[in-house]
A and B are shown apart, each in its own frame.
Chain A
Amino acid sequence: MDRIGLAPRPDWRDTAAEAGFTFHSENGPYWDETAAYRFTLAQVEEIEEATEALEALCYQVVDRAVGDPAVLDRLAIPRGFHDLVRRSWTDRERNLYGRFDFSYDGGSPPKLLEYNADTPTSLYEAAVFQWVWLEQMIGRGALPRGSDQFNSLHERLVEAWRGVGVAGSRLHLAGVMDAEEDRVTVAYLADCAQQAGFATEMMDVAEIGVTATGDFVDLRDRPITTLFKLYPWEFMVREQYGTSLLRRTTRIIEPAWKMILSNKGLLALLWEMFPGHPNLLPSFFDGSGHGLTQPYVRKPLLSREGANVEIVGLLGAEGGPYGAEGYVVQQYAPLPRFDGNYPVVGSWVVAGQPAGMGIREDTSPVTRNTSRFVPHFIQG
């Protein structure tokens, strides 16, 4: 694994405009092709195997959690929703996708930092735009023929939608449409679902309505039979329509059992059940007499994009709105440094299978929403 400086394609902004990639420079540069990470196939396979192994461990955690209300309590899942989570798991409700974030230096085993199992973004740029980058770089002779990429996301997403089985063939997809990154993520998944044969309707989460009986409907009062939502479960259960979710008349993707996995408490549960696993870092619920020596990382159970994350003994907390539900602590695993940048490997899972990766790097050792997406390729 190394970081290679490369000349950006002079016309990449035009390509982005053609491909619907609108947020490549939203808060400063986000898409960054002045460099790329090069991996060997063996390194990629190590990441792939770690992803497969962790996904299997996560299912064991869910299995345990749904059978033990005390565990669901520790994850701050409200009591009234325990049964919903349990039934979504015992009914084998299908899930679509998630992203493991790894600290990986190319030599030691990848270490799990967190699992974005409910509302992961950076999907489109990983699935489509870095793929186009590689094809063009090879086509223009800037990278050798035979270069490859760990990225079967697009094909697997279309296939996964076929397997999800959308009731009534109409799929509603909702998100916070004012946020460009979220809108594009939703639009991209809608595109994949259309290719899988579904009629899709995109909407803002705030446009979801309820009928007198508590069923969800769209702006035209059509029933929402299957809903993909890029909106966190932990928000939904605490908002006005939360109790309508208990009727289970709408199929929701990701399913309710993802509440267990999209919670940083997962890290503590994994370490509790599989201590010493090579892809895990020692992690504990905060206040449990963890015995970690500084520096260690303190993260809210529910937080996104690095908000409220603190490296105790090294770096103060990033501000943010999270933390009310509790914290986990995790042994600090310094990210590797390449030319002053700290990359995090995002390893994607689609329908339970490893599906590709996307690398985000930052000049700070805590990856935030200001990080840049840097493409990767496989050589050798």
Chain B
Amino acid sequence: MKRSRRIKLTMLGASAIVLTACEERIETQVYETVEQCLANVEEHPDDCRRDFESARALHAETAPRYTSRADCEAEFGDGRCEAGPAGQQAEAGQGGSFFMPVMMGYMLGNALGRTGVAAQPLYRPLVNGTPGSFRTPGNVDVGSSVGRTSVRPSAVNAPVANAGQAISRGGFGARGAATGTGG
């Protein structure tokens, strides 16, 4: 056979014509607060606080950033954004302050005995005006359930720290604007 055995599209188009295979899922746990975690975890309750702390630390480094509170709140809702940490504001230079969504939950690291999984802060961007499912700093959807849950492999990758702020944009694209450039 010279053709693909199966084609799946996860974002483009609908699933009506697509033969979908089962995707590998990773078991993990998602909580909104340390207390909620302690109420649910039978083994290793110490992980609840430790992973919350490391998610908090990652939050400062990896949360999506916005140049204005209004831009941030447009995506996460009124009162659900905070100013970026002072130390990072200075580091960003350019006199730029920035805003980021507040952390709405966290995913346990090394969940259920799986090693190499980093604890992650979680955010809930608005969907039709109300907070939607939990998302990692890498913007991977991990569903809306709290407690034990299964997520896509890309959800458990360690989040990437933000860079300094852009001092300019638009330095690419002048030659291909609107006409397309493929061949």
Q: Do A and B come from one complex?
A: yes
A176 touches B3 (CB 8 A): no
Q: Count A interface residues, CB 8 Å.
A: 82
The reply on B65 being an interface residue by CB < 8 A is yes
Q: Which residues of A contact B154 (CB under 8 A)?
A: 169, 194, 197-199
B134-182 at interface with A (beta carbon < 8 Å): 136, 138-140, 152-154, 157-158, 160-182
Contact with B along A176-201 (1 / 0, CB 8 A): 10111110110110110011011101
Binding-face segment, A73-81, A150-158, A269-277, A279-287: A150-158
**How far is B136's CA from A178's CA once the two chains are assembled, in angstroms?**
28
The reply on B115 being an interface residue by CB < 8 A is no
Q: Which residues of B contact A201 (CB under 8 A)?
A: 139
**How far is B68's CA from A221's CA once the two chains are assembled, in angstroms?**
13
The reply on A210 being an interface residue by CB < 8 A is yes
B9 touches A191 (CB 8 A): yes
Nearest residue in B to A99 (C-beta to C-beta)? B183
The reply on B116 being an interface residue by CB < 8 A is no
Q: Give min CB distance, A243 to chain B, whole Å.
A: 10
Contact A206:B177 (CB < 8 A) given known A119-B183, A182-B182, A241-B171: yes
Q: Which residues of B contact A119 (CB under 8 A)?
A: 181-183
**How far is B4's CA from A153's CA once the two chains are assembled, in angstroms?**
7
Contact A176:B165 (CB < 8 A) given known A154-B7, A210-B171, A220-B65: no
Q: Which residues of B contact A220 (CB under 8 A)?
A: 64-66, 162
**How far is B12's CA from A255's CA once the two chains are assembled, in angstroms?**
26
B173 touches A150 (CB 8 A): no
A239 touches B171 (CB 8 A): yes
A21, A181, A378: the one contacting B2 at CB < 8 Å is A378
The reply on A240 being an interface residue by CB < 8 A is yes
A20, A44, A180, A235: the one contacting B12 at CB < 8 Å is A20
Contact A231:B3 (CB < 8 A) given known A191-B9, A209-B168: no
A20 touches B13 (CB 8 A): yes
B183 touches A121 (CB 8 A): yes
The reply on A54 being an interface residue by CB < 8 A is no
The reply on A82 being an interface residue by CB < 8 A is no
Contact A194:B10 (CB < 8 A) given known A152-B4, A206-B173, A231-B172: yes
A155, A176, A180, A184: the one contacting B4 at CB < 8 Å is A155
Q: Give min CB distance, B96 to chain A, whole Å.
A: 9
A132, A190, A206, A209: the one contacting B166 at CB < 8 Å is A209
The reply on B17 being an interface residue by CB < 8 A is yes
The reply on B16 being an interface residue by CB < 8 A is yes
Q: Which residues of B contact A187 (CB under 8 A)?
A: 11-12
Main secondary structure of the interface of A (DSSP, over half): mixed
Nearest residue in B to A181 (C-beta to C-beta)? B180
Most buried by B among A19, A120, A134: A19
Q: Which residues of A contact B12 (CB under 8 A)?
A: 19-20, 124, 184, 187-188, 191
Q: Which residues of B contact A20 (CB under 8 A)?
A: 9, 12-13
The reply on A24 being an interface residue by CB < 8 A is no
Q: Which residues of A contact B86 (CB under 8 A)?
A: none
A176 touches B162 (CB 8 A): no
Contact A19:B13 (CB < 8 A) given known A155-B6, A215-B164, A232-B176: yes
A132, A182, A191, A204: the one contacting B11 at CB < 8 Å is A191
Q: Give min CB distance, A132 to chain B, whole Å.
A: 6
A174, A184, A210, A378: the one contacting B167 at CB < 8 Å is A210
Nearest residue in B to A208 (C-beta to C-beta)? B172
**How far is B10's CA from A154's CA once the two chains are assembled, in angstroms?**
13
Q: Which residues of A contact B85 (CB under 8 A)?
A: none
Q: Which residues of B contact A328 (CB under 8 A)?
A: none
B9 touches A239 (CB 8 A): no
B165 touches A211 (CB 8 A): yes
Contact A210:B166 (CB < 8 A) given known A170-B138, A205-B173: yes
Q: Which residues of B contact A155 (CB under 8 A)?
A: 4-6
Other than the given A199-B154, A235-B175, 16 more pairs (CB < 8 A) read A154-B7, A155-B5, A168-B160, A169-B157, A169-B160, A176-B179, A179-B178, A191-B12, A197-B152, A198-B154, A208-B172, A211-B164, A219-B169, A222-B65, A223-B160, A230-B181
